[in-house]
Structure 1
């Protein structure tokens, strides 16, 4: 799979504004969240912003790899599951946070673990929209989002290179 033709570069400032906008939308729901499960790695940054804005202190991670070479999405691979304390109720009162839903594969995998949780992401592509409850911005399926942690003045290779997980 080659890189999509459309590019959507996102600055740190823009990502922070968008993550706060997501928190604002979530604050308007008639629902109280007692915990966040962020989908790593992309969900770490928006989860930090949302946890601050919504005063949620319990943060858990689920580690799923789906982008294996920074240019294309492959099969999902569960690297770390969610604690039993959050899964035993099916995720009731839990907010799942990710940066993006692309094809929805990762979201479906996490939803299987926490079917009663509320799934929120900052950006959504059309194939992924049905898999989340709340998002801020929809981009076309053929758009590649360049997140600020991937960018300098040009694309920045990760410092450590090794086999993809």
Structure 2
């Protein structure tokens, strides 16, 4: 649900999963055949996992991080892992790169640059996200929602960003 001021978008678990399913349909309707899904951890892990199951394709993982401060609300320096975890040995062929959103576009631009320069066995690379913000300088090949007001997206699992083990213990202690 988008707030009246357009600055916040609150997403429930059901809405989140529905959006991933809509993303899957867009990819499917493009008739593009791919060999592997490469998700960007952390934001792309949930969509990547679901898409991997729907398309019955192996899931590779590349870790990136830029949102760390204030429970993940302030962008910092972008860190990109040097290695990709994949069950197939080396990532190759046609790869679908998956993340949750194209915010500024910086992460996706940098990752694609790194993949094209350092992973020559990748023959074709396309990108898929749930949301693309209007301020993004990157346009993914596949996305579900364009957000021209650039709201902060409150995803349903964000409560875990500030939750600690002792809080869970207290919650579940009877």
Structure 2 segments unaligned to the other structure (5+ residues): 117-123, 166-174
Larger Rg: 2
Per the alignment, residue 50 of structure 1 pairs with 51
Bigger helix share = 2
Q: Would the aligned equivalents of 2:102 and 2:138 in 1 still touch at CA under 8 Å?
A: no
Structure 1 segments unaligned to the other structure (5+ residues): 161-165
Aligned length: 149
1:55 CA drift (Å): 1.6
In structure 2, relative to structure 1, the CA distance for the partners of 1:79 and 1:104 (3 Å cut) is: same
Per the alignment, residue 68 of structure 1 pairs with 68
RMSD: 2.3
In structure 2, relative to structure 1, the CA distance for the partners of 1:22 and 1:129 (3 Å cut) is: farther
Q: Would the aligned equivalents of 2:39 and 2:97 in 1 still touch at CA under 8 Å?
A: yes
Residue 110 of structure 1 pairs with residue 118 of structure 2: no
Q: Deviations over 1:8-42 (max 9, x none)?
A: 01111000000000001001113111111100101
Residue 79 of structure 1 pairs with residue 81 of structure 2: yes
Per the alignment, residue 138 of structure 2 pairs with 130
- Partners of 1:67 and 1:122 in 2: CA distance: 18
Q: So what's the TM-score if we normalise by structure 1?
A: 0.80
Per the alignment, residue 148 of structure 1 pairs with 156
- Partners of 1:105 and 1:145 in 2: CA distance: 17
Q: So what's the TM-score if we normalise by structure 2?
A: 0.76
